[in-house]
Chain A
Amino acid sequence: MDYEEAKNLVVEGLTKKQKSKSKFYFNDLAKLIGEKPRAAKKYVNQMVTEGILEYWSSGSTSMYGLPGTGKQAAAEHED
């Protein structure tokens, strides 16, 4: 699988679920990409670097989301 393909799968998958949730575990992304976690991580890292995904962290747990989605950006005065 190439990066573009992985990116499309993730963006499409997350966009579909936007109504019910805006933050996703890494495993959710790996499942969308259909690769083992270590292989999926390379694509996910690149998507974060390019600003296609953003991190969210509670301090103990990390999640991923599409930038600007969910309540977080507004709640944190970051938008």
Chain B
Amino acid sequence: MAKHETPMLDELVSGPWPSFVDDLKQLAAHRAKNEDNIEYQIPVDVVEDLLGILELSFKHGRTHWKHGGIVGVFGYGGGVIGRYCDQPQNFSGVAHFHTMRVAQPGGKFYKTDYLKQLCDLWDLRGSGVTNMHGSTGDIIFLGTTTPQLEEIFYELTHNINQDLGGSGSNLRTPADCIGQARCEYACYDTQDLCYDLTQEYQDELHRPAFPYKFKFKFDGCPNGCVASIARSDLSFIGTWKDDIKIDQEAVAAYIGGEFPPNAGAHSGRDWGAFDIQKEVIDNCPTECMWMDGKQLKIDDRECNRCMHCINVMPRALRIGDERGLSILAGAKAPILDGAQMGTLIVPFIEAVAPYTKIKEEVIEPIWDWWMEEGKNRERLGELMKRQGLQRVIEVLGVDPDPRMVQEPRSNPYVFWKEDEVEGGWERDINEFRKHHQR
């Protein structure tokens, strides 16, 4: 019989979709039976108490968690988020219920051995409840006690070759798409850049000195599979400078129905014959494509890398050869001022190891500015909004570029300063009046 009655939680089980309540009950029963004879290092009934306190919160309409704390592992200011229950007498299994953030492997590639090791560790020293993955991308371990934190950290770093992720006012665990490992659209090696910056900025990841959180995310192409443009303070999106490569024979094969569009992704129902005009050319946002007889033509100067044509006809159209990435800054979720998408600050930069230019000319100047002038709990995007994109351009030491403007007159942020204007603001009014009547 369950330790706590949970009539309200049970309502969640009755719906048509799978419920986390089912999962938790299954785990609670599994821990109680303990068929694997695990020497649980935290209370066996942690999951039952988790269900119990959630039921109580539903009943009272308020939380019974106390969030945040001084707990962590030695030398690290992030990766552990303290959580305590305010009803420890009735729910002793969750008196401490700390979260640990574990850095995810690049591109979230796992071997099953690795997952088993993580789960075994967490069954032994934690609640067994995980979140795969948290919003930042980390593997989230939910619920353990303070004495287990150092033990888990030791196992992770010495036996599983994995580190804790970022939390608090730190650089958060950088996240990337699968990149060139599996994807022909990737314009740079996302995993190499992600790993390189993770290693380079270990101090920023583990020892908090920023005004607030800071996120890097890496998309190999403008398809944006990790949505870096919306989810990171500095977003790295692969792009190319030259022309889309066209294989006219393959274009003809798509038109003739030999190749399924979108690599067969929509083949679940009959959409009729492929219509290149309707499905590709008319959908081009910059109207830069047309058919010249049987030849597909693209005015590449007008292309804005929306990726639609390449996605529909991957065997006929390929990304260009002069590849690199664009950097956008300032995306954030809506805590203050509403959500913001990233703003383009570097239209094109080569992404070649050791990435010195990216580090020294973009990341570090941005950090220096934000650390000095950002208010407490102010995200980079909010600082950009407060001081203006012109200030960002000054910080980076680059010239304004039309590509930084979303559309004419929407963000006219460039104002002349006195030292940029010949003669400054001073003028001889008498001289002026000689040429201009009052």
Contact = CB atoms under 8 A, between A and B. Distances in A.
B96 to A, nearest CB: 8
Contacts of A54: 70
B361 to A, nearest CB: 17
Nearest to A76: B69
Contacts of A48: 75, 77, 207
B81 interface: yes
Given A26-B208, A49-B75, A61-B377, A36 B170 contact: no
Contact of B68 (A27, A38, A56, A65): A56
Residue from B70, B72, B170 with most neighbouring chain A CB atoms (10 Å): B70
A23 B402 CA distance: 45
A57 B81 contact: yes
A3 interface: no
Interface string B183-220: 00000000000000000000100011111110000000
A56 B67 contact: no
A58 B82 CA distance: 7
Given A26-B209, A37-B371, A44-B209, A62 B70 contact: no
B150 to A, nearest CB: 14
Contacts of A55: 70, 72, 77, 168, 208
Contacts of B203: 41, 45
Contact of B78 (A36, A38, A62, A76): A62
A32 to B, nearest CB: 14
B84 interface: yes
> Is the contact region of chain B dominated by helix, strand, or loop, or is it mixed?
loop
A44 B371 CA distance: 15
Contacts of B71: 76, 78
Contacts of B208: 26, 55, 57, 62
A60 interface: yes
Nearest to B76: A55
Nearest to A56: B70
Interface residues of B, number: 35
Interface residues of A, number: 28
Residue from B68, B211, B368 with most neighbouring chain A CB atoms (10 Å): B68
B95 interface: yes
B340 interface: no
Contact of B211 (A27, A41, A45, A78): A27
Contacts of A58: 67-68, 81, 168
Contacts of B78: 57, 62
Contact of B209 (A37, A76, A77, A78): A37
14 contacts: A26-B169, A26-B210, A26-B211, A37-B372, A38-B368, A48-B207, A55-B208, A57-B77, A57-B80, A57-B81, A58-B68, A76-B69, A76-B70, A78-B69
Given A41-B203, A58-B67, A76-B70, 20 more contacts: A26-B169, A26-B208, A26-B210, A36-B371, A45-B207, A55-B208, A56-B69, A56-B70, A57-B80, A57-B81, A57-B208, A58-B68, A58-B81, A60-B167, A60-B212, A75-B66, A75-B84, A76-B82, A77-B96, A77-B146
Which 9 A-B pairs have CB atoms at the shortest separation, nearest pair first? A62-B168, A62-B208, A58-B68, A59-B81, A37-B371, A57-B168, A62-B169, A55-B77, A41-B209
Interface of A: 25-27, 36-38, 40-41, 44-45, 48-49, 54-62, 65, 72-73, 75-78
